[in-house]
Amino acid sequence: MNNVVYYELVDSVVNSWLRNEAGMPVPDGDIVGLVVQSGCTYHASLGWPEPIEAGMAVARVGNSSITYLIGLFSVGEDDAAAEASFTHVYVNKDTRRPVPIPDNLRTAATALLREE
């Protein structure tokens, strides 16, 4: 599987969580998350048509940014085949200036904070 597909999966995991768990109207809201950092460490191959499972945690919640941690797994495996990080800065969709994270998003993200 090409590395672009890994990033597409990571983006889908985060955006699905934003819509379904955090109540954010992605992509139609007044606040949008802009990716300012991303990275991925690959430990094993994943490939089509193999089913893939994903897990997500939050590394950091700032004033206007959240850093997400996403693991991609072969079904039934405990060790991630790939571990990604993904940082959104939340901005006003028109001005593109940072805004404070909305309360509903902050609450949902804080619930996923990973203990160090």
Note the pTM of the prediction, 2 decimals.
0.93
Write the CATH number for 79. Answer: 3.10.129.10
Instruction: Give domain status of residue 104, yes or no.
Output: no
SS in 3 state form for the chain?
CCHHHHHHHHHHHHHHHHHHCCCCCCCCCCEEEEEEEEEEEECCCCCCCCCEEEEEEEEEECCCEEEEEEEEEECCCCCCCEEEEEEEEEEECCCCCECCCCHHHHHHHHHCECCC
In tens, the pLDDT along 15-68 reads 999 999 999 998 888 999 999 999 999 999 998 889 999 999 999 999 999 999
Q: Which amino acid is at 56?
A: M
Residue 80 lies in a domain: yes
Domain that holds residue 76: 3-96
- What pLDDT, in 10s, does the model give residues 56-101? 999 999 999 999 999 999 999 999 999 999 999 999 999 999 999 9
CB–CB of 98/105 below 8 Å? no
